[in-house]
Structure 1
Amino acid sequence: MSDSVGDAAAPDNAVHAAGLLALLPNPCALVAAEGHVLAVNGAWSELFGAHNGQGQPLVEAVAALFQWEHEAWLEVIAELEALRTGQVAQVRFAAALVVLPARWFAATLAPTAHGTIIWQLQEITQWRAAEAYATDMMLQMREAIESISEGLALYDEHNCLVFCNKRYHDIYPLVADLMTPGRSILEILYVGIERGQFTLSEGEDVETFVTRRMSHFRGDGDQVHRLDGERWVRAIDRPTRSGGVVGIRTDVTEQRKVDELTRTNLEQEAVLRAQGALLSELSTPLLRIGPTTLLMPLIGALDSQRARRVVEHLLSAIEAQRTALVILDITGVPIVDTQVANLLLQSARAVRLLGARMVLTGIRPDVAETIVTLGVDLSMLTIRGSLQDGVREALKR
Structure 2
Amino acid sequence: MSESAESHGTSMLSSFATFIAYLPEPCALVDATGHLAAVNPAWSDMFFDTGLGQPLTEAVARLFAWEPAHLQQMLVELNYLQADELHRVSFDAALAEPPDRWVNATLARTDHGFCLWQLSEVTRWQMVEAATHQLLEQFRDAIESISDGFALYDREERLVFCNRRYREIYPLCADLLRQGRSFREILRVSLERGQFMLASDTVEAFFAHQYAQFREGTSSEYQLTDGRWIRAVNHQTDDGATVGIRTDITEQRLASALREQTAAQEATIMAQSTLLAELSTPLLRISARTLVLPLIGAIDGARANRVVEHLLNAVEEQQASLVILDITGVPVVDTYVAGLMIQCARAIRLLGARMVLTGIRPDVAETLVTLGIDLGEIVTRASLQDGVRYALREG
What is the TM-score with the length of structure 2 in the denominator? 0.49
What is the TM-score with the length of structure 1 in the denominator? 0.49
Say which one has the larger Rg. Answer: 1
